[in-house]
Amino acid sequence: KMSEVSKVMTKADIKPKSMHRAKIWSDDVENLYRFQQAGYRDEVEYKQVKQVDEVECWPETGFVKKLQRRDNTFYYYNRQRECEDKDVRKVKIYVY
């Protein structure tokens, strides 16, 4: 599954045009939650900063499996949902 964000080409410095907060949980919100926990806006920023083409995902769910933070420590995520309902509204959705 390609998320909406991956379809945006990862150019040198794409800046989001706007931001809103998630209201309901979805697969995309789950992945954004994981990127934001690791200190990135989203997949676009992660790929720019870490200079990677692919993000490691769980094949069963398509959720992000592992992310490298800016200080080079790794975050490992479960294959199940981790973003609880109370955290959904904390997730920022960026529009490019």
For residue 63, the model assigns a pLDDT of 98
- Give the pLDDT of residue 1: 43
pLDDT on residue 83: 97
Provide the 10 A C-beta neighbour count for residue 59: 7
Note the pLDDT of residue 14: 75
The whole-number pLDDT of residue 16 equals 87
Structure tokens at 47: 């790929």
Phi, psi (rounded to 5 degrees) for 68 = -100, 125
Which of helix, strand or coil describes residue 27? helix
Q: Consecutive sets of 10 residues in the chain, 96 residues long: mean pLDDT of each? A: 47 80 97 97 94 95 96 96 97 94
Instruction: Give yes or no for a contact between 5 and 26, defined as CB atoms under 8 angstroms apart.
Output: no
- Whose tokens are 């109370």? That residue is 86
Residue 89's CB is within 10 A of a number of other CB atoms, namely: 11
pLDDT value of position 87: 97
The pLDDT, as a whole number, for residue 35 is: 98
- The structural domains of the chain, with segments of one domain joined by +, span 24-95
